[in-house]
Amino acid sequence: MDELDVTIQLNGDALTVRVDATTSLAELLRNQAGLTGTKVACGEGTCGACTVLVDGAPTLSCILLAAQADGADVRTVEGLSVDGELSVLQRAFIAEDAFQCGFCTPGQLASATALLTANPTPTRDEIRHAMAGNLCRCGTYPKIELAVLRASEGSR
């Protein structure tokens, strides 16, 4: 097996790990960094459960090789809070009850964080478009949309 060192900024801290060349970023996060908030459901980049922020962009970590993230700034759901306080978006998800089983929530939060960073006051259509890659088996899409709207209002 070919192994290599990968260095990333993970939730603000430098991390260097040795990985097999075929290791996905999701596997690195879960198995080597111990951050289990990132979920792997489909393993083929179709559901969005594994979405994390790589250099600020929502990224499907199950299909991105860890080596491809070398040198990148990676933020997971564990890194969305600030000084131990939930972000405005995380609080909005709770207030709107925007999750049911919670499995998709980390990926939903990552995509919504990227949206609100790029566009602090999105329309409903912009929210739907930005969140289209994140599937929710429980069907809480209306509540997720309301949570993103609430967070955008709270950031004004």
CATH no. for residue 131? Answer: 1.10.150.120
**Both tokens of residue 49?**
């459960």
Task: Please indicate, yes or no, whether residues 103 and 132 belong to a single structural domain of this protein.
Answer: yes
Split at pLDDT 50, 70, 90, the class of 155 is low
- Evaluate whether residue 125 is within a structural domain: yes
Domain assignment present for residue 8? The answer is yes
Q: Higher confidence at residue 71 or residue 155?
A: 71
3 state SS of 82: strand
Total domain count for the chain? 2
Phi, psi of 150 (to 5 degrees): -60, -45
From 12, 43, 78, the end of a domain falls on: 78
User: Could you tell me if 115 and 64 lie in one domain?
Assistant: no
| Residue 153 pLDDT > 90 | no
Asked if residue 30 is part of any domain, the answer here is yes
Residue 71 has a CB neighbour count (10 Å cut-off) of: 10
Does 83 map to a domain? no
The answer, as to whether pTM is greater than 0.85, is yes
Domain carrying residue 106: 88-154
pLDDT at 82: 87
Q: Are the C-beta atoms of 106 and 39 separated by less than 8 Å?
A: yes
User: Which tokens go with 119?
Assistant: 């566009």
**Do both 59 and 9 map to the same domain?**
yes
Element (H, E) at 17: strand 13-20
Are both 119 and 93 inside the same structural domain? yes
What CATH number does residue 24 fall under? 3.10.20.30
> Tell me, what's the pLDDT at 154?
66
DSSP alpha helix (H) spans, the chain:
25-27, 88-95, 105-118, 124-130, 141-154
